[in-house]
Amino acid sequence: MSKPPIFTSDIPLFPILIAPHARLKAKARAVAKGDDDDVRAIIPRMFATMYTAPGIGLAAPQVDLGLRLLVIDLMPHDKPAPIVMINPEIVAASPELATREEGCLSLPGMYADVTRPARVKVRYLDESGARREMETSELLSACVQHEIDHLDGVLFVDRISILKRNMIMRKLAKEQKLKK
């Protein structure tokens, strides 16, 4: 995945927390009016961190910021299409389910099939503070649900069987130990 040109400058990157870091299990607080300046400074750093990783989504708790803020860019047709969601909430979910393989920047190299609603409608504030609603499906729906889960202290491995979760967490711990 190539980095969009708007994020190739010397923007400092955030370190990404790796599971089982305790902060990844904490529920993030809502972004408030007094957080505006901080959020404006955080957003470009989150995108730079996500693109560099590389990934398609990043939630503030993954970079040790306990705010209900996430960024997504699926890079359709290899063109940047950044999405910022502040205080997102799922307001409707389809009864139909979809299963797709998920990975996570906080569980590097680990993947598992996760079943979620096939479509969701999400309500959020954009970076200008305007209230927005978006209907999502396919990869965007899974990504939005995955990132909102992070805001609630839920990892994708929390949505799979205990056996699979334990296998992934042991493998991750072993790989992280080898890196040190």
The DSSP result for 144-173, as a single string, is HHHHHHHHTT--GGGGS-HHHHHHHHHHHH
Q: Are 73 and 50 in contact (CB under 8 A)?
A: yes
Confirm whether 147 is a catalytic residue: yes
- Residues 6+ positions from 61 with CB-CB distance below 8 Å: 17, 23, 24, 26, 28, 67, 150, 151, 153
For 168, list phi and psi in degrees, rounded to 5: -65, -45
Q: Are 48 and 11 in contact (CB under 8 A)?
A: yes
Give the span between the Cα atoms of 89 and 78, in whole angstroms. Answer: 28
CA dihedral (38, 154, 22, 82) positive or negative: negative
Residue in 89, 101, 127, 147 annotated catalytic: 147
Query: Which residues are catalytic, by number?
Result: 147
